[in-house]
Structure 1
């Protein structure tokens, strides 16, 4: 083979959401911390993301994570998260994939029954507790960055839809929350295409009518994802709900969305629906689940914030060597609007 570049990838998914992990073939990425490294990749090395996530190697439902030495000495490993249209500060499903790949491939040592790690993400340090049995990671519980509500029960006008009420929040990415039932959705797989079309309209309206910005990092701004929320029900074990999250590039998250689950906890706390320590089980449009809790309270700027934990499982799907043939006319990928919104 006449490859001019080779990248080693371990395939993985967390509760249905693809989060492949790059374990080799990446050159040095400048930056004092993971956020700066993320920005450098975005500006100067974006062809790597295109190679991994665009067709013919990827698709709209692919994400990837690049393992890097940590910038913070308290961390065991660093990583940059890549989605098909952005580099988010944090992602719960991707973090679960990263922790699972690190331990199950032996990059970091596994201790049974519990292995604790600290991961250095662009959004901040993420503590993870991995439950392990017989060489397998059976659960990853992550303590996310602080999550907080920004707007609550605010009315916006959406062209073609009308006046609707939304919440906005930060859970590692920026979200807008809408009531699925009021928009005519049951959150079932057959509705996904229409939910994406409606979600894109809502996102555009929110970003035109609201200012949504992180109080401590103005580079984190604008709503990326729309959470179509089902009703929150109280059962013996805690609270349960279902959601479908339309992510930035206009498709449904296959998992319950880890940052979205964190954002839901922040909004529920702000509305007095959930207390610290209560169990919240969030179900995805595909039927997979994350279990979450609020384990603390803090401030982010002047905003009241919660410290959430989110737990789920990931599975390794393959080991790949991806390469660039210099004669390939689409070596760094392409997108066609039949499936790429």
Structure 2
């Protein structure tokens, strides 16, 4: 029987679903309007304030779930960009997402957004709200494969920041930027293990840390106030000094959303933090393992740069994404839950 759309009286949203290291990304193929705005950050604000139904319909239940992630392709004002993208999650809109960039690199090549170039890799320039991110997609015998990307300038915003976390007392942590801001703290501080402890316990701790940092620390970014917010908390295994052995972490972001992958922008920020502390050198490749799925990204600091008054580095992160399917989603006007819902 050939597939056909069921009865509906709303827009049809067609998507391609992928995952990177276990973390989903739902890429919008068609059906979503183009947000208004001259810049990508303006379009991000417009989508948030006027077209949030796209995010809610695609990511929340009953079509999605609490931990679904989305990529809304939009026009870019950057001349070098092959595509622009807005990143969506259970709470709103991010400024950077490494796992989605890895998936979008493959997608852009496979779906003709960029023509295949000669050589073993194809460059794909992806304009994210944090800036232009350059991805490189391997391909062989007609199939795309692993993807690496070069970050926007990443930096340690502050180290050894004291924060009072209700229920846990004083906590000393670091804050770093990798296209988005994260708080970093070892799970051992709370008697937990990022690979062995219950996910619920890790989420509760990370959410408490995030809430406390938001209340007690005022973030700033040299380029735009739109970038100056804490995206989440990365709990680590505390193994920050360079080693050939993988180091594990778990990222909890947005509204207690759990990243199944090692977190591309989190790895970027963590490498910037390690480099700032003198724990790694340029071009030393480290492996980062997800505490949730044991999937692995690799990363390294490529070169020094600056971001405003911050000493920064450009970080390369590598990983693999895979396709899981395609879907076309519809709505019916009489459906009271058509716009999506989220269980707390």
Which TM bucket (shorter chain)? over 0.9
The Cα shift of 1:295 comes to 0.8
TM-score normalised per structure 1: 0.94
Q: Which residue is equivalent to 1:18?
A: 24
Deviation at 1:106, TM superposition (A): 3.4
Return the offset for 1:214. Answer: 1.3
Aligned ranges for residues 114-153 of structure 1 at < 5 Å? 114-153=121-160
Q: Does 1:232 align with 2:240?
A: yes
Check conservation: 1:225, 1:246, Cα contact below 8 A.
yes
Distance 1:61 1:222 in 2: 20
Matched, 1:309 2:316: yes
Q: CA deviation at 1:135?
A: 3.0
CA distance in 2, matches of 1:251, 1:44: 23
- Distance, in Å, in 2 between the alignment partners of 1:144 and 1:72 is 16
Match of 2:278, SS state, is: coil
In structure 1, list runs of 5 or more residues that go unmatched: none
Cα drift, residue 259 of structure 1: 0.5
Q: Secondary structure at the match of 1:317?
A: strand
- Seen in structure 2, the aligned counterparts of structure 1 residues 185 and 301 have a Cα distance that, compared at 3 Å, is same
Matched, 1:255 2:243: no
TM-score (norm. length: structure 2): 0.93
Question: Counterpart of 1:110?
Answer: 116
1:284 aligned to 2:290?
Answer: yes
Q: CA deviation at 1:133?
A: 2.1
Structure-1 residue corresponding to 2:217: 210
Q: 2:169 aligns with which of 162, 184, 207?
A: 162
- CA–CA separation in structure 2 for the residues paired with 1:30 and 1:222: 23
| Aligned residues of 1:234 and 1:240 also touching (Cα < 8 A) | no
1:293 to 300, 303, 308: 300
Structure 2 unmatched runs, 5+: 1-6
C-alpha contact (below 8 Å) 1:20/1:97 kept by paired residues? no
Segments of 4+ in structure 1 off by > 6 A? none
Q: Note the aligned Cα RMSD (angstroms).
A: 1.5
String of CA shifts for 1:101-132, please: whole Å, max 9, x gaps: 22223343334631111111111111111011
Q: How does 1:177-192 map to 2 (within 5 A)?
A: 177-188=184-195, 190-192=197-199
Say whether the 8 Å CA contact 2:182–2:266 is kept in structure 1: yes
Deviation at 1:168, TM superposition (A): 0.5
8 Å contact 1:232–1:239 — kept in the other structure?
Answer: no
In structure 1, what is the Cα distance between the partners aligned to 2:314 and 2:120? Answer: 25
